Amino acid sequence: MIKFTQRGPKVNGVQYKASYQKYKDMEGRECIQIYSLKNYFPKEIREQFQVVNRTDIMTDYFEMDRFNVYETHELFPKVKATLEAINASYNKRMEKKKSERLLPKVSRCKSPKSYHSEYVSKIRFPELGKIVYLSCVLKKQEAIKAAQAVLMLTENANFKIVVC
């Protein structure tokens, strides 16, 4: 039994790492191509799909297995759902990364207690385009309060702690 997951096809409980790519072939048919990332695909997949591998040992050209899943194939809806889940997961990660970029950041500095990451001397506010440099090394919470006092922010301002 073949199950399509975000990491690749799973056959009889064994995961085969692969990547998915959606495109249209030369005839304009919608197609999802699945590339093997690590191993060759097992015989169960080879029986269901036409697996392509153009490896040429004589010219020292090596290629991993790949196969196409067309709209007419019975497993196409499952593969398409998997590809949509991959894209949704990617978009969610990018949105989170984009939103975190705007949060103020607290940077760790070289403090007298270098092993202790709770001390900071610089706080960045990317949204405001400002950086607060402290004249001394303070604990994170004290540094945040000092930066809020300098910029007159509310106590509920969002801070993102970043260890540089």
User: Nearest 5°: CA angle at 14, between 8 and 52?
Assistant: 50
Task: Note the pLDDT of residue 106.
Answer: 59
pLDDT digits (tens, 9 = 90+) for 105-135: 655 555 455 555 567 777 777 667 777 777 7
| Residue with the two structure tokens 């499952």 | 78
Distance (Å, whole) CA 92 – CA 88: 6
Lowest average pLDDT, out of 17-31, 32-46, 95-109, 130-144, goes to 95-109
pLDDT digits (tens, 9 = 90+) for 43-52: 999 888 888 8
Strand partners of residue 135: none
Distance (Å, whole) CA 54 – CA 99: 43
Q: Which tokens is 57 given?
A: 């040992």
Domain residues of the chain, as ranges? 2-96, 105-162
If pLDDT is split at 50, 70 and 90, which confidence band does 25 have? confident
Sequence-distant (6+) residues with CB within 8 A of 85 are 6
- What is the enclosing helix (H) or strand (E) of 87? helix 76-100
Strands 30-36 and 51-52, bridge-based pairing? unpaired
Task: Note the pLDDT of residue 103.
Answer: 62
